[in-house]
Structure 1
């Protein structure tokens, strides 16, 4: 069992308080994710946006205890906070206009000029970013992507399409992955600002996590100006997708934290409304065990960011936990339970989305098996 430091406990406790705001917005965002005007002023949205932004590119806004606690934190600190925020509502978190995963990659691969260009465009809290990697016909196999960058003078032309991309149809700036050639090292990422000629985005009609605004994108000869390709200043092996393996390991733990937080929220909600629900204590014990697994995976990432065995195990276990908890919760409140409790009904839809975020379960079973054979389980 991981013993949390005083700092991690502070992040956890402050995030638990902040989750109340997210839960109060959950049903409204789920009902109409386009109607965001009433949510822009959320103090949690502001905290998330500021925490996602490197200090040198932030606006001059008042700091908060939670922002100070989360600033440049470890993976363990991040997931301890995220579990608590997810107990509020993951859909509301994903609806937040912030740099998000795109910002992580810009910070990893971008020059100072590119970082300033990207992060300053997120000022004001009313613009979304997007991170476009997945393709409809390729799924989790990012190395087989077909979207391409073709040379056009000093710049590039972007052709192809992406699918299942959060906030893409309403985003204004983001990162798009594609190929400059056929080799594995030809997979690159570029900064894109929209609207732009040849760019088309559409929101997909989703059952769960509607706040994430999952979208499909198509590109027809979209101009990428000179200076927008990320990583040109880096060695070839550190320019594209393979440079980001440690980030993917981190993100898998974050998805696991989101799933565990949602499972905890469902258990606590059921026990609040039916104290002696059959199987309630077992469901709670399983959710708390899932939380410990996520803590352990995060601590492992902090020790060795390149070893992804436990992050895959945590993601795999957390998805099964969340779905199983949703099935139990649906039965525990009786035949009309989901009608009488719309927040719980929402969460039972949301949990199925975690399967498709940062790799499906079959992919992670392979990662876990290979890691075990390589001795990573004993590391």
Structure 2
């Protein structure tokens, strides 16, 4: 991919400072020079041998890319969301697994950074942001995916600590992570109360007795992203592992998901951008009836629609990022994040599917990456809350506006 001509128009970048522009240039250099050349083989080895790119996250951590939206005093980059999300897009353009992994890691650090005590933050956050520790986010369960507040994982007080019992499903980095941000019910729902009441957040070390990880799921895409169930069989943690107020964890989870959904939107745009570039490059080079196929109106218009979808998606997630950075009303931020997640991932599925069509038979074989991008794009309509749930969130915001 290095040196390839970019299709018109060149993606517009809204970068607030020269430092941010230099950062994005560095990310592009890393993504094109280090990630793109190994992505296909790494995905194949993950699917066949269950080998996962753990060391890649250490390298990105040393480059300062695992903590961009967090404060510099804790080892973060101190960058606004509009910069962090464009970094995710650049990573996804070359290797979607890594971009999504970075997004999940940033999401998993949120509860500690936002709700942790100063001592907890000093103790754990710098190593997480620097890449020495990798984090996983444990909210979903097999019986409560979209209805996360209906979780059955429990945390019970025991002396000066807590004992966690239950299981989480579809956990990215399961078995690779050093720590797990776990949401568990610490008190039952009171009569007339909300299901989200009584949920608390914990930072659980991976080596805690009673914590086990199942075999990785075999997925149709994102093979390099290790996904598995995590079980807590009487896992005991100290009182210092509770993040924030007891019973107030679900608000922290929702806040993290707002940023996380924007992250998935950015990843989706990166996948779509990569597919668009591959399709345009192929259409310029492939000749039929004595001329490049891009000159045929039917195919040219398809590429034009793809480029428009990518540009519109990028504008939408950047709008959500700007609202998040500006401290806009939480309801509006949540709605903007849900709109961006829904639109960007829907368009990524469309664009990657059309890219396969542009390449024809060549696009359906693994020699070209567009078939992998199409499979990967599908997952993004599901993770961080299905697109059907995102529409419920947007409709609810409209009802209250």
Provide TM-score, normalisation by structure 1. Answer: 0.86
Conservation of the 8 A alpha-carbon contact between 1:22 and 1:44: no
Question: What is the alpha-carbon distance in structure 1 between the residues aligned to residue 59 and residue 316 of structure 2?
Answer: 31
Aligned residues: 359
Change beyond 3 A, Cα 1:6–1:173? closer
Q: Does 1:91 align with 2:114?
A: no
Structure 2 equivalent of residue 200 of structure 1: 212
Structure 2 equivalent of residue 49 of structure 1: 66
CA drift of 1:36 comes to 3.6
Question: What is the alpha-carbon distance in structure 2 between the residues aligned to residue 41 and residue 88 of structure 1?
Answer: 18
Segment drifting more, 244-253 vs 120-129:
120-129
Q: Does 1:295 align with 2:307?
A: no
1:170 aligns to what SS in structure 2? coil
Conservation of the 8 A alpha-carbon contact between 2:67 and 2:129: no
Q: 1:158 aligns with which of 151, 160, 164?
A: 164
Structure 1 gaps of 5+ residues are 59-66
Structure 2 equivalent of residue 335 of structure 1: 361
Structure 2 gaps of 5+ residues are 1-11, 190-195, 285-292
Conservation of the 8 A alpha-carbon contact between 1:52 and 1:99: no
Provide TM-score, normalisation by structure 2. Answer: 0.81
Question: What is the alpha-carbon distance in structure 2 between the residues aligned to residue 86 and residue 43 of structure 1?
Answer: 14
Question: What is the alpha-carbon distance in structure 2 between the residues aligned to residue 213 and residue 45 of structure 1?
Answer: 21
Conservation of the 8 A alpha-carbon contact between 1:29 and 1:211: yes
Change beyond 3 A, Cα 1:211–1:54? farther
Q: 1:209 aligns with which of 222, 245, 263?
A: 222
2:242 aligns to what SS in structure 1? coil
Q: Does 1:324 align with 2:340?
A: no
Change beyond 3 A, Cα 1:349–1:284? same
1:335 aligns to what SS in structure 2? helix
Deviations 1:86-119 (A, max 9, x none): 2122212345699532212111111122223323
Conservation of the 8 A alpha-carbon contact between 1:25 and 1:39: no
Q: Does 1:259 align with 2:268?
A: yes
Change beyond 3 A, Cα 1:195–1:3? closer
Change beyond 3 A, Cα 1:13–1:292? farther
CA RMSD after TM alignment: 2.7
Segment drifting more, 105-114 vs 154-163:
105-114
Structure 1 equivalent of residue 202 of structure 2: 190
Question: What is the alpha-carbon distance in structure 1 between the residues aligned to residue 99 and residue 282 of structure 2?
Answer: 25
Segment drifting more, 321-330 vs 30-39:
30-39
Change beyond 3 A, Cα 1:364–1:40? closer
How do 1:1-379 and structure 2 match up within 5 A? 4-7=14-17, 9-20=21-32, 21-33=34-46, 34-36=51-53, 39=56, 42=59, 46-49=63-66, 51=68, 54-58=71-75, 71-95=77-101, 99-119=105-125, 121-122=127-128, 125=131, 127-183=133-189, 184-202=196-214, 203-232=216-245, 239-275=248-284, 276-277=293-294, 278=299, 279-303=302-326, 304=328, 306=330, 307=332, 308-339=334-365, 341-375=367-401
Structure 2 equivalent of residue 64 of structure 1: none
Deviations 1:317-350 (A, max 9, x none): 1111011112111111112323253422221111
CA drift of 1:199 comes to 1.2
Deviations 1:339-372 (A, max 9, x none): 2534222211111111122110111111122222
Change beyond 3 A, Cα 1:350–1:79? same
Question: What is the alpha-carbon distance in structure 2 between the residues aligned to residue 178 and residue 40 of structure 1?
Answer: 27
Deviations 1:126-177 (A, max 9, x none): 6421110100111121111110001111111100000011102221212111
CA drift of 1:204 comes to 1.4
Segment drifting more, 80-89 vs 41-50:
41-50
